[in-house]
Amino acid sequence: MSTWRPIAKTPLWKRCLPGWLHGPAVLLFQLSIAAIVIVLGLVFFYFIVASKFDLDEVEKLPGGVVLYDRNGREIDAPGASGRRNVKRDEIPDFMVKALAAREDARFFEHSGVDFRGLARATVRNVKDRDFTQGASTLTMQLARNTYEMRAKSLHRKALEIALTLRIEARYSKDEILAAYLNRIYFGSGAYGVEQAARTYFGKTTLQLHPGECAMIVGIVRGPHIYSPLRNLKAAKEQRNQTLSRMVDAGFITRERADAVKDLEIRLVKETADGNRASYAVRQVRARLERVMEKEGITSGGLKVYTTLDAGWQARLESELTRAVVDLENEKGWPHPRHSAHEPGTEAEYLQFAAVTTETKTGAVLALIGGRDFADSRYDRTRSKRDLGSAFEPFVAAAAAERGKLVLPGKPLQTGRQIGPAEVQRLAKRCGISGPFLDTEDLFRGAVAATPMEMSIGLATLGNRGKRPKPYFISQIEDAEGKSIYRAEPSAAQALSQEAAEEAVGVLKNRSGTRCFTGATGSERDAWTLRLGPSGSTAIWIGFDDPKRISGEARLTALLDEFVERLGN
């Protein structure tokens, strides 16, 4: 039997390559096949993972922000005004072009993923050895915001791409654009473009002129720092950058951009925002902006648990109002006039301000910035006023820190033992920034401070010399109830425990609380310091335009009565 067989013909690729390359070529081919298999496996895996996400969520109206006090009681519902989705025909064409130019120039051309941009970003990330570039399209940003994917990782990016392709397959470009603008955060408590339009300009989205459209688009890059209510100059710079991008993209001419810059920007006055219900809520919102910026929180449906004690705040404000009204009736002075003062302007009637912080943690339990928020938005908790005799506890603390004798009721003699410089140093460590006089008048209270500073200073004395850092927000939960932020209280040792305890001894002991009431020598400012079982309260009474209130004896009696009614 013959075993002859024809000689096999050498494959073309072997004839084209030198013999020494045959082995590497085979290996390369095998690796390529393996890579293709792995890629297909990853594609299949992420397709399966992405298919578990409900695409109906894309069109749903994101929730707003709800504030709660420390006891779980809802205290405000900011962001309720204008909370609705808009459709594509309600969005000005100028805004659409502005958004495309600024965020995703090829939005109407790609299939959701800009692979050219993604390749450039990948090369840059490899060079930087970090996720410095994202190459996110509008659809990718929509996927990320809809499903709360904030972690920077290859897994998240791959899942984001898979979800993006599903969204593009399900929705039209106009629907994606509208969903994006309805969902993202625009700063100042505004979620979605409709609420942003109403919050900043008092208009619907469709009524915005081109300059307002460009400004709103500019906010997207930094909603916390480019809010026109917070920084109009920065917001205008972002508007101008957006217009320049539109010129570069060929959407408008340079002449058109210059004409848009000249359009008047009229912002809604803060007094027109009915949601800004109190000084305390406004402070919470300011802190919330900072936390969201730092933590990268952009989603809606947030539950914000504040440190405020709504019951204590109401009680404190009620008793303060009663005390002041009694004095006004006695003097025949006017009451609040509801004349809608602008922030920073002065009201002519008798005012008060108060801050209570939790002594050990610095959590702000109450903040009252003035007599009537509806009449004057000026927050007096940040206004420096003369302290007078209210400074005595800190003179005593400075003397005790240096091992000197504390003489209650005799701050001049107490302070002379160490001198003004030592008293200033100790007061600053307790949180009082001054200005201070460099003479012995400092011991009599020739120094100015804010109610917030005095509350923290008092807490430092009550916390055995540890100065707590004030904060307003204890925890933030997302729409699913998952905690995405939790405050970490901190306190730094400002003076010795022995000196702090001796300084507290200057305060009068009243039924479980220690208090100090007094006035300046000019009788234009009156103060009460109250160290309760858990909170440190600083209260100021006076006129915005400083003038004499009443005799020191009458002011002391008034504040003593107030303290007695307040109780523990």
The total of other beta-carbon atoms located within 10 Å of residue 267's CB is: 16
| Angstrom distance (rounded) from CA 407 to CA 414 | 6
pLDDT in tens, 476-496: 998 788 899 999 999 999 999
Over 90: is that where the pLDDT of 499 sits? yes
Task: Let me know whether 98 and 204 are in one domain.
Answer: yes
Please tell me the predicted confidence (pLDDT) of residue 274: 43
CB 532 within 8 A of CB 568: yes
CB 171 within 8 A of CB 179: yes
**Average pLDDT for 535-559:** 92
Please tell me the predicted confidence (pLDDT) of residue 50: 66
**Last residue in a domain, options 222, 250, 274:** 274
The domain in which residue 111 lies consists of 83-274
CA nearest to 562, candidates 536, 530, 524, 522: 530
User: What's the one-letter identity of residue 428?
Assistant: K
User: What's the one-letter identity of residue 48?
Assistant: I
Place of tokens 């009458």: 554
**Last residue in a domain, options 256, 274, 292:** 274
Domains in the chain: how many in total?
2
**202-236 burial by CB neighbour count: b if 16+ within 10 A, else e?**
bbebeebbbbbbbbbbbbbeebbebbbbebeebbb
Over 60: is that where the pLDDT of 1 sits? no
Q: Indicate the DSSP class of residue 435.
A: -
pTM score, two decimals? 0.76
Look at residue 6 and tell me if it is in a domain.
Answer: no
Dihedral of CA atoms 115, 117, 120, 125 in degrees, nearest 10, equals -100
With cut-offs at 50, 70 and 90, classify the pLDDT of residue 122: low
With cut-offs at 50, 70 and 90, classify the pLDDT of residue 95: very high
With cut-offs at 50, 70 and 90, classify the pLDDT of residue 564: confident
Over 60: is that where the pLDDT of 346 sits? no
pLDDT in tens, 398-437: 999 999 999 999 999 999 999 999 999 999 999 999 899 9
Please tell me the predicted confidence (pLDDT) of residue 175: 93
Q: List CB contacts of 218: < 8 A, sequence separation 6 or more.
A: 102, 226, 235, 237, 238, 239, 241, 242
Q: Which CATH number characterizes residue 521's domain?
A: 3.40.710.10
| Angstrom distance (rounded) from CA 132 to CA 135 | 10
Look at residue 116 and tell me if it is in a domain.
Answer: yes
Q: Which of 278-287, 330-339, 468-477, 480-489 has the highest mean pLDDT?
A: 468-477
Task: Let me know whether 232 and 327 are in one domain.
Answer: no
**Average pLDDT for 469-479:** 94
Look at residue 21 and tell me if it is in a domain.
Answer: no
Look at residue 481 and tell me if it is in a domain.
Answer: no
Question: In this structure, what are the phi and psi dihedrals at residue 363, rounded to the nearest 5 degrees?
Answer: -60, 130
Look at residue 460 and tell me if it is in a domain.
Answer: yes
Look at residue 58 and tell me if it is in a domain.
Answer: no
**Average pLDDT for 302-318:** 94
**Last residue in a domain, options 274, 300, 321:** 274
Task: Let me know whether 396 and 539 are in one domain.
Answer: yes
Q: Which CATH number characterizes residue 268's domain?
A: 1.10.3810.10
Residue 416 structure tokens: 């002379």
pLDDT in tens, 139-187: 988 888 888 776 666 777 787 888 888 898 899 999 999 999 998 889 8
**Average pLDDT for 373-383:** 89
Q: H/E element holding 416?
A: helix 411-416
In terms of pLDDT, which residue wins out, 43 or 104?
104
Look at residue 445 and tell me if it is in a domain.
Answer: yes
pLDDT over 90, % of the chain: 54
Task: Let me know whether 220 and 318 are in one domain.
Answer: no
The total of other beta-carbon atoms located within 10 Å of residue 89's CB is: 8
User: What's the one-letter identity of residue 287?
Assistant: R
| Angstrom distance (rounded) from CA 473 to CA 308 | 8
